[in-house]
């Protein structure tokens, strides 16, 4: 199991540092494969949403993480140019 600190740092880096690095490197497309995606600064993005377990079984996630995912996942799907849904339940 990934600790909350590591998960939080990864999501925070994806939301803040990734758009900066992508702009600096002039990246054409950013593919976020971990259910969340940068909310600003990426011209074209693809997000892979593996499942919605955080939504269907909120007790399996710590409160702050569950609330964050409830906001970040739909926002990532709206902002992305394409969405890849792996699970039939996600579609």
Question: CA-to-CA distance for 60 and 24, rounded, in angstroms?
Answer: 38
Q: What's phi and psi for 42, nearest 5 deg?
A: -110, 120
Sign of CA dihedral 22, 13, 52, 76: negative
Sign of CA dihedral 65, 67, 73, 79: negative
**Region of residue 68 (left: phi > 0; alpha: psi -120 to 50; beta: else):** alpha
- Tens digit of each residue's pLDDT (9 = 90 or more) over 23-36: 999 999 999 998 88
Cβ contacts of 23 within 8 Å, gap of 6 or more: 41
For residue 65, the model assigns a pLDDT of 84
CA dihedral of 90, 80, 19, 1, whole degrees rounded to 10: 0
How many residues are present in the chain?
91
pLDDT (tens, 9 = 90+) of the chain, 91 residues, equals: 456 565 577 778 888 888 999 999 999 999 999 888 998 888 899 999 999 988 888 888 888 888 889 999 999 999 999 999 988 776 6
């Amino acid at each position: 199991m990934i600790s909350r600190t590591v998960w939080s740092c990864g999501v925070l880096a994806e939301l803040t540092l990734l758009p900066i690095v992508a702009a600096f490197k002039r990246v054409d497309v950013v593919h976020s494969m971990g259910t969340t995606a940068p909310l600003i600064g990426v011209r074209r993005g693809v997000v892979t949403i593996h499942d919605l377990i955080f939504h269907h079984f909120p007790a399996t996630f710590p409160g702050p993480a569950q609330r964050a995912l409830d906001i970040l996942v739909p926002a990532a799907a709206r902002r992305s140019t394409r969405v890849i849904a792996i699970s039939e339940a996600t579609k």
